[in-house]
Amino acid sequence: MTIAKQTVLKSFAAVVHDHGRCVTTALAKAETACATAGKRLTPLRRRVLELVWGSHLPVKAYDLLAILGREREQAAPPTVYRALDFLQQVGLVHRIASLNAFVGCGEPLQGHVSQFLICTQCGTVAELANLGLSTSISASAEALGFQATRQTIEVEGICKHCRKRGAQAVQ
Amino acid sequence: MTIAKQTVLKSFAAVVHDHGRCVTTALAKAETACATAGKRLTPLRRRVLELVWGSHLPVKAYDLLAILGREREQAAPPTVYRALDFLQQVGLVHRIASLNAFVGCGEPLQGHVSQFLICTQCGTVAELANLGLSTSISASAEALGFQATRQTIEVEGICKHCRKRGAQAVQ
DNA sequence: CCACTAAGGTTACTCAATAACAAATTGTTG
DNA sequence: CAACAATTTGTTATTGAGTAACCTTAGTGG
Ligand SMILES: [Zn+2]
Ligand SMILES: [Zn+2]
Ligand SMILES: [Zn+2]
Ligand SMILES: [Zn+2]
C-alpha cells in the first residue's frame, strides 16, 4: 500500500524555536478566519486561543480555567468551554478525544481532514492532513454501507526528536 | 488507493436478532480468554461484561454503576472502573474515546487492531479489524519519523440500516 | 494455620462538561 | 439617539468521568 502525499499542519517543532512567531501567526490567521466567517473574535476568545497556543502541547480545559481565573477575577467552567466551543466551530482549535485536551490548528483557513500524532514521551502533538488516509478510511466504511461524516484519528507513539534523544541516552 | 481486506468483528446487527446468542457467545469466549491468560473472571467482572453486552450500543460507566447499585446494595465508581479496566486489559471490551463509553469486543481471543464505526442515528457501534488500514496509518506516521504504538480510530456516520430507513421515510 | 496476593469496599477527591438563568454588551433600525 | 433584538458573558449549580488512598475480604501456597 502506498503512502499518500500528506501535509504536516503542525509539525514536531524543534525543542528550541521562535515560538512567539507561531503564536503571532496563529492569531493573525484567527482574525482572518473569523472575519471571513462573519464571527467575532472577542478578547476572551482571543485570549483563550492565545493560551492554547502557549506551547505545542495539548492544553486541558481546567488548566485554561485556572489561568483565566488568575487574570480576570471571574472565570467558571462555561467561560472556557464556551470559548473552546466557538474556537472549534471556526476550526481554530481541535479537541483530542483520547486526551480530553485541546490544540491550536495550524491551518484554520480552509476546512480539512486531520489526524493527530501524539508523542507519549514529550507530549507534543502534530497535526496531519493526509487526505489519502482519510479517503481510505471513508472507503473502508463505505464498503460496509456506512456513510462516514466525521473521523477521529489519534495515534500515540514516539516522535522523531524523542527517538533520537532516546538513542543517545536513556534517561 | 485500494481498500484492504477487512474483517468485521462486530457488525451492525439487524434491528431484530437473537441477541441472547450474542451475549452467550461473548461470555463463553470471555471464560476462555481469561482461562488462557490466567486471569480470573469473577462474578463482578462477569456481570459487568454481561451488562456491556446488554446491547450493541456503547455503554457509559455511570449507567453501569446505576444498574450495579440496584443489584448489589454497594457500588461506587471504583467498582465499575476496576472491572472495566480489567476487561480492557484482557481485551474483552474496548473504550470509545470520542464517546467516553464502552463496547464489548466480538473477537477477544487474539490481539488485534481495531477501528470503530459509530452510527449517529441509532447509536450502534461496529468494530472493524482492518489491518491494512492500521498499517497504512502507521506508515504515514513513520514517514515523519514517528513510531506509532497505539491508534484511536473512530468514525462517525450513518449505518446501512439507518440509510435504508432514511430513504423510506424521513422521520 | 499462616503468610501472601488479588480483588473488592469505602471515602473522598479532582477534572470534564453542561444546564439554566441573569446581566451586560453589541448590532440594528426607526 | 432610543428601543429592541441578538449575541456574549457572568453566575450558580449539578451531573458525569475518572482516580487516589486506605482498608477489608477472599483465594492460594506452604
Ligand atoms: Zn512553536
Ligand atoms: Zn516527543
Ligand atoms: Zn446482538
Ligand atoms: Zn444506525
- Other CB atoms within 10 A of residue B160 CB: 16
Going by C-alpha positions, the residue among B108, B101, B68, B70 that lies closest to residue B87 is: B108
pLDDT at A2: 46
Q: Which residues does chain A have within 8 Å of residue B154's beta carbon, measured at their own beta carbons?
A: 97, 151-152
Give residue-wise pLDDT tens across range A87-122: 999 999 999 999 999 999 988 877 788 999 999 999
Alpha carbon separation from A114 to A17, A149, A155, B48, B130 (Å, rounded): 24, 13, 12, 35, 20
3-state secondary structure chain B: CCCCCCEEEECCCCCCCCHHHHHHHHHHHHHHHHHHHCCCCCHHHHHHHHHHCCCCCCECHHHHHHHHHHHHCCCCHHHHHHHHHHHHHHCCEEEECCCCEEEECCCCCCCCCCEEEEECCCCCEEEEECHHHHHHHHHHHHCCCCEEEEEEEEEEEECHHHHHHHHHCCC
pLDDT at B5: 58
B77-90 helix and B43-52 helix, angle to the nearest 10 degrees: 80
SS3 B28: helix
Q: Are A68 and A75 in contact (CB under 8 A)?
A: yes
Q: Where do the domains of chain B lie? A: 6-170
pLDDT at B1: 47
The rounded Å distance from CA A159 to ligand 2 centre is 4
Q: What is the pTM of this model?
A: 0.89
pLDDT at B3: 45
The CATH architecture assigned to B6-170 reads: Orthogonal Bundle (1.10)
Tens-level pLDDT at each residue, chain B (171 residues):
444 556 666 666 666 788 999 999 999 999 999 999 999 999 999 999 999 999 999 999 999 999 999 998 889 999 999 999 999 999 999 999 999 999 999 888 777 889 999 999 999 999 999 999 999 999 999 999 999 999 999 999 999 999 988 765 444
pLDDT at A110: 77
Residue B3 sits at φ, ψ, to 5 deg, of -85, 120
SS3 B6: coil
- Percent of chain A past pLDDT 70, that is, above it, reads 88
pLDDT at A170: 43
CA A10 to chain B, closest CA, distance in angstroms equals 12
The rounded Å distance from CA B165 to ligand 4 centre is 9
C-alpha cell read off for B8: 468485521
Give residue-wise pLDDT tens across range A31-76: 999 999 999 999 999 999 999 999 999 999 999 999 999 998 889 9
Q: Which residues does chain B have within 8 Å of residue A145's beta carbon, measured at their own beta carbons?
A: 12, 159-160, 163
* pLDDT at A125 > cutoff 80: yes
pLDDT category of residue A16 using cuts at 50, 70 and 90: confident
List, as ranges, residues 128-167 from B with C-beta within 8 Å of A: 128, 130, 132-133, 135-141, 143-160, 163
Q: Are B158 and B119 in contact (CB under 8 A)?
A: yes
Q: Which residues does chain B have within 8 Å of residue A140's beta carbon, measured at their own beta carbons?
A: 3-4, 6, 115, 128, 130, 133
Give residue-wise pLDDT tens across range B140-158: 999 999 999 999 999 999 9
SS3 A136: helix
pLDDT at A9: 60
Angle (CA) A32 A151 A161, round 5°: 75
pLDDT at A3: 45
For cell 495515534, name the residue.
A155
pLDDT at B118: 97
Angle (CA) A31 A32 A34, round 5°: 65
pLDDT at B105: 94
